[in-house]
C-alpha cells in the first residue's frame, strides 16, 4: 500500500461507510469478500477492487461516488500532474500530519529524509534521537504513512536494510480565520504508488 493510501485509509473507510449507508456498505463488503476475499478496510490498499465492485452496483455512477469520497478527504490543487499538490480537507488526516510535524523528534525525522532516503539507524544518528523513543516514533510515522520505504541498502555484514523517506516533498499549513488547511506535495513515485489516486485521478 502506498504511503498516501495508508494515511487516508481510516478516514476513507469511514467516508465510504457514511456515504453508502449501512445496507449498501454491507452488500459491497459481501461482494468484496466473494470476489476478492477482502474486507472493505483491506481493499482500500487495492482501491481498483473497490472500484470494480462499486461499478457492479452503480455502473458509471461509481465515478461520482469516488469523487465524492475523495473530496471529503483531499482535493488536487492543480490539474497539472507534475505538480502533485493536494489540499487535505479531512480533519483526522490533517490532525495526523500536524501532530507529526508538531512533535520535535518526528518533525526532525521527516525533514532529514525529504531529499534522501536513509536507513533507520542513520536517521536516528542524524537527528540525535535516542534509539528506544526514536524507533517508536519512526514506527508510528511508517504506520501513519508519513514515512515510506524507498529501496534497500546492504549493511557491512551483508544484510539488506530498508531505506525510508518522507511521503511529502513539501508541506504548507495555513491558518485563516481559525480554519486550518494543510497542503501537501507528493513526490511522483508516491503519486504513482497510490491506488486511490490512480483510480480516481488516473
Torsion on CA atoms 38, 42, 46, 47, rounded to nearest 10: 100
pLDDT at 33: 95
Q: What is the CATH number of domain 91-169?
A: 1.10.10.10
Give the model confidence (pLDDT) of 18-39 as tens digits: 999 999 999 999 999 999 999 9
Give the Cα separation of 37 and 8 in Å (integer): 22
Spans of all domains in the chain: 3-75, 91-169
- pLDDT tens sequence across 133-152: 999 999 999 999 999 999 99
pLDDT in tens, 102-115: 999 999 999 999 98
Structural contact between residues 136 and 147, judged by C-beta atoms closer than 8 angstroms: no
Cβ contacts of 174 within 8 Å, gap of 6 or more: 180, 181, 182, 183
82: confidence class by pLDDT, cuts 50, 70, 90: low
Amino acid at each position: 500500500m502506498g504511503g498516501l493510501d495508508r494515511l487516508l485509509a481510516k478516514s476513507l473507510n469511514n467516508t465510504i461507510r457514511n456515504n453508502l449507508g449501512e445496507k449498501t456498505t454491507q452488500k459491497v463488503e459481501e461482494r468484496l469478500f466473494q470476489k476478492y476475499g477482502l474486507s472493505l478496510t483491506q481493499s482500500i490498499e487495492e482501491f481498483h477492487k473497490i472500484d470494480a465492485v462499486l461499478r457492479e452496483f452503480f455502473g458509471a455512477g461509481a465515478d461520482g461516488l469516488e469523487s465524492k469520497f475523495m473530496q471529503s478527504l483531499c482535493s488536487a490543487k492543480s490539474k497539472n500532474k507534475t505538480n502533485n499538490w493536494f489540499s487535505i480537507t479531512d480533519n483526522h488526516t490533517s490532525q495526523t500530519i500536524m501532530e507529526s510535524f508538531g512533535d520535535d523528534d518526528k518533525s526532525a525525522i521527516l525533514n532529514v529524509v525529504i531529499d534522501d532516503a536513509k536507513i533507520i539507524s542513520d536517521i536516528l544518528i542524524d537527528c540525535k534521537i535516542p534509539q528506544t523513543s526514536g524507533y517508536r516514533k519512526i514506527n508510528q510515522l511508517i504506520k501513519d504513512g508519513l514515512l515510506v520505504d524507498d529501496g534497500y541498502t546492504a549493511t557491512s555484514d551483508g544484510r539488506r536494510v530498508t531505506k525510508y523517506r518522507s511521503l511529502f516533498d513539501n508541506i504548507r499549513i495555513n491558518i485563516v480565520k481559525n480554519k486550518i488547511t494543510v497542503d501537501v506535495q507528493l513526490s511522483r513515485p508516491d503519486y504513482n504508488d497510490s491506488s486511490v489516486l490512480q483510480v480516481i485521478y488516473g
